[in-house]
Amino acid sequence: MSLHGKPIVAGAIFQSSGSTFKAFSPINTHPLEPLFENASAACIHTALTSASEAFRSYRKISNEQRASFLDAIAEEILSLGDTLLERANLETGLPLDRLTGERGRTVGQLRLFASVIREGSWADARIDSPLPARQPLPRPDLRSILVPIGPVVVFGASNFPLAFSVAGGDTASALAAGCPVIVKGHPAHPGTCELVATAITKAAQQLGIHPGVFSMVHGNTPEVGMALVSHPLCRAVGFTGSLKAGRALFDAAHQRPEPIPVFAEMSSLNPIFLLPDALRTKAAQIAEGLKNSITIGVGQFCTKPGIVFAQDGPDLQTFLTHLSHSIGSTVPGTMLHSGIRDAFEAASKQLSKIPRVQLLARAPHSPDTSKTQAIPLVLVTDSQTFERESALHEEVFGPITLIVKSASHEELLQLANGLSGQLTATVHANEPDMEHARDLFSVLEQKAGRLLLNGFPTGVEVSHAMHHGGPYPSTTHSRFTSVGAAAIQRWVRPVCFQNFTPDFLPAELRDANPTGLMRIFDGQLTRNAI
């Protein structure tokens, strides 16, 4: 399938007059064909206007029709076959087996959301029966349900070219909720974006869904993203990427005459605490697990553990020796694009130069810059230095972690208290450590969206109970997740219908409960008709 490089707006190729750019393969830094066109102002306006028109019908189609749409997108993505995987490999340098797994995750996400909306209880239908005789005032008939918010702009992430990109979790959850989507493709993998956008467009055509339900535009300048977020018809934004970009978009959205929510997932250190007995008995095992978690995907995961806290002493020294050996067995890896690699190199150098920060270990081979490579490394410091140096509190995207030695358990608690918001926080503890683990978790619960006992944070399950979010700066809204079934909650708002007659009510709120939905009736969960 040949690529055209143009935006796909409401089911058609848009002849944009925007400037052009090329993608570069990180594998060999060669430019890739074709030229891609940045979205012009007219293109962005057409995409948002079409989405707004589509919203009128799309929000009203049945859950079953929307679920079929998501299933059809999954099928269309699979039918792209190796073409999709090979282009994604060229554009990102990610190996084909990883991309095959990621495609499975993407398709699985779409099907998960199809099942969520078929089941229906996500819509949180509530009915309070009227109390006409109540004194001093009667209670009216009150019924509420979640309704879609409107056109959503999604920014594809660079580090998951399929699962957090054009048909990733943000798009799947927004379409499931009943919201049209306009994706700003990530400029590091525009060909992959075009292929997936074509699959979504075909699925909409097959099912006769209004074409404005989906558009995908390219952009390699901040202006494109800003124009999308500032457009008056945009109702919400989903973003995964850097704190700098996420914060800029969040600020822009809040400066609009009519502010809108930006659900940005940005930066996290994902701290790990190693408690004494666990360190004493499992030093080699934890060191190997940590090395794997730092280096998987060349450290380009939002859940990569960037910091490890432990009490100083002989057991920590043994652990550091194991970790040095493990890191010594690693090899350079190709990063997603030269910007990310350069940022990683610059930040690693900056941290290494801080007084009292020492290099513990690095992979033995030099990285090949013509292959956009980076090598894993581990730094060590003490708690005073960590507390003093703000640069040590910032995410470094890539295969690096910092070990912070503390003098006591009280100091570990103090360090935990000083952390900013995180996606995850982990404690390694044995039975004798449990009291201290409980102290730590009671602090960490205030800091992170996912707590792990004796594990590693990389690997985020796409499921019903998953929470992938956390207090700022890990995200802009700590109450919401960007992974898993609950991600749909970002794109809806509640509406309460007071004293409505059955004809005016949405089907889900009628007495007969024709869709068999689980509802809260007078405070009790039930599927019964009333």
Considering the complex, state which of residue 27 and residue 61 has its C-beta at the smaller distance from ligand NAP: 27
Task: Give the residue among 77, 81, 100 at the shortest CA–CA distance from 203.
Answer: 77
Enumerate binding residues for ligand NAP (CB under 6 A): 155, 157-159, 184, 186-187, 219-222, 225-226, 240-242, 245, 248-249, 266-267, 302, 339-340, 343, 397
CB nearer to ligand NAP: pick between 176 and 227: 227
CA distances to 72, 191, 271 from 197, rounded to whole Å, are 13, 10, 36
Taking the complex as a whole, how short is the minimal distance between the CB of residue 345 and ligand NAP, in angstroms? 11
346/407 with CB nearer ligand NAP: 346
Nearer to ligand NAP among residue 158 and residue 513 (C-beta): 158
Q: What distance in Å separates the CA atoms of residue 413 and residue 392, rounded to the nearest whole number?
A: 18
Whether 265 is catalytic is yes
Least spacing, CB of residue 28 vs ligand NAP, in Å? 20
Phi-psi region of 2 (alpha: psi -120 to 50; beta: other; left: phi over 0): beta
For ligand NAP, the closer CB: 308 or 396: 396
Q: How far is the CB of 244 from ligand NAP (least distance, A)?
A: 6
Dihedral of CA atoms 259, 265, 266, 268 in degrees, nearest 10, equals 140
CB closer to ligand NAP out of 237 and 509: 237
Least CB distance to ligand NAP at residue 298 (A): 12
The catalytically annotated residue of 102, 194, 302, 508 is 302
CA distance 287 to 300: 19
Dihedral sign from CA coordinates of 275, 277, 280, 285: negative
Q: Which of 76, 91, 102, 265 is catalytic?
A: 265
Q: What distance separates the 2 farthest-apart alpha carbons in the chain?
A: 81
Q: Taking the chain, what is the end-to-end CA distance rounded to the nearest angstrom?
A: 54
Measured from the CB atom, the residue of 121 and 230 that comes closer to ligand NAP is: 230
Smallest separation, CB 514 to ligand NAP (Å): 42
Cα–chain-centroid distance for residue 404?
28
Q: How far is the CB of 127 from ligand NAP (least distance, A)?
A: 40
Minimum gap (Å) between residue 163 Cβ and ligand NAP: 12
If DSSP codes are grouped into helix, strand and coil, which group holds residue 344? helix
User: What does the alpha-carbon distance between residue 220 and residue 500 come to, in Å, rounded to a whole number?
Assistant: 49
Beta strand pairing status for 142-148 and 126-128?
A: antiparallel
**Cα torsion for 353, 354, 359, 364, to the nearest 10°?**
-30
What are the residue ranges of helices labelled H in 404-512? Answer: 409-417, 434-444
500 burial (CB, 10 Å; 0-12 / 13-18 / 19+) is: middle
Residues recognised as catalytic: 265, 302
